Amino acid sequence: MDKKRLYENTEKILNQAFEAAKHSVKVVSEKAGEAAHVTGLLIEKATLEHRVAKRFAQLGNRIYEKSTREGNAQFLEDPEVNDLVERTKKLDAELAQVEATLEAERKERSAKRGS
């Protein structure tokens, strides 16, 4: 299997996993009766996780290209690689913020139920 097909197959699998995750979040949230705000955070979390995974796939493909085709171990000096790394860091930070907000919402809901 050539690299391009491997990358396309990886992206297809990531997209399918993302759609399955979104569907699962919706089903679980409906059955659990979570508030619309928490559901929105869960969907946002799944979306960000999907975007991070896609960035990692892009980054991995670019590094692979640079190191195998070009025989260049100094791929980190490549502006495109650096851009992908920076964009991935931003998405990862955004994901951490959503996860923290979601955890706070869950704790608040749990505290209200316990009262």
C-beta separation of 92 from 46 below 8 A: no
Which structural domain, as residue segments, surrounds residue 62? 3-114
HEC profile of the chain:
CCHHHHHHHHHHHHHHHHHHHHHHHHHHHHHHCCCHHHHHHHHHHHHHHHHHHHHHHHHHHHHHHHHHHCCCCCHHHCHHHHHHHHHHHHHHHHHHHHHHHHHHHHHHHHHHHHC
More confident position, 85 or 41: 41
39-57 average pLDDT score: 89
Mean pLDDT of the chain: 80
From CA 20, how far away is CA 2, in angstroms rounded? 27
- The token pair that represents 7 in the structure block: 């990358």
Q: pTM of the full predicted structure?
A: 0.52
Confidence grade of residue 41 (pLDDT, cut at 50, 70, 90): confident
pLDDT band for position 101 (cuts 50, 70, 90): very high
What tokens appear for 63 in the block?
Answer: 């590094």
- How many domains in the chain? 1
Higher-pLDDT residue of 25, 100: 100
- Rounded to an integer, the average pLDDT of 64-73 is 66
